Amino acid sequence: MSFAFPLASIALLAACSPSAPGAPEPTQAAMDAVPDLPVMGPERPILAFGDSLLAGYGLEDGESYPARLEKALRARGVNARIVNAGVSGDTTAAGLERLDFTLKSQTVKPELAIISLGGNDMLRGLAPQETRKNLTAIVERLRHDGIRVLLLGMLAAPNLGKDYAAQFNPIYPQIAQGEHVALVPFFLQPVIDKPDLVQKDHVHPTAIGVDAIVSATVDDVVAALPPQKSASPVPQ
């Protein structure tokens, strides 16, 4: 099951299923015109860890959020190298289970981890307290290793009811506040009610939709990075 989030109505939620259609007809995204410019300065390793919103469900190679975010950061002069560790269908429990292996697999310790998990928990109606516990454990594990965190927030589908939303929606801001990590309150906000920015499943963003999300979040990523160490002074 890949991650899905209803963008406008309950009907959109029902449109996503394990047999959701694949990518729409390829479109020429404006971001394709952005060259891969050389960037000076030390490399800034970033880990993108999450579900299909990071994995690039239904998109071509190079069109995922991590890939387009890397280009946007480099266009701003940030020598970013982003490892895409997104797995379609991951719940917070699955993410927590593979976190240690993922971290040990990195050739360089990330300076920042971008976390997008919890949407599949919500779609499956899993207990919000379990989502909170797992996400907190993920954030604590990363912080223990000295890795900064940017948490990408989600909101509960309206058909799950007010009670569920009242338990689920505060998870992200409360973890961010309690663990002192950066937060994007609602990752999918830039594509809400914009059918031209989502795929035929009415859920996952198109390449152009990813562009919109990158534009809306790149400043958050820059701010979440640790300060770059200045070069040592040249002896006189």
**Residues forming the active site:** 52, 201, 204
Name, in order, each residue with C-beta under 8 angstroms of 94's C-beta and a sequence gap of 6 or more: 87
Q: CA-CA-CA-CA torsion for 63, 155, 150, 179, nearest 10 degrees?
A: -160
Query: E strands within 87-191?
Result: 112-116, 148-152, 182-184
Residues 174 and 24: their CA atoms lie apart, in Å, by: 36
Residues 164 and 125: their CA atoms lie apart, in Å, by: 8
Q: Tell me how far CA of residue 87 lies from CA of 12, 75, 95, in angstroms.
A: 22, 27, 9
Residues 114 and 212: their CA atoms lie apart, in Å, by: 17
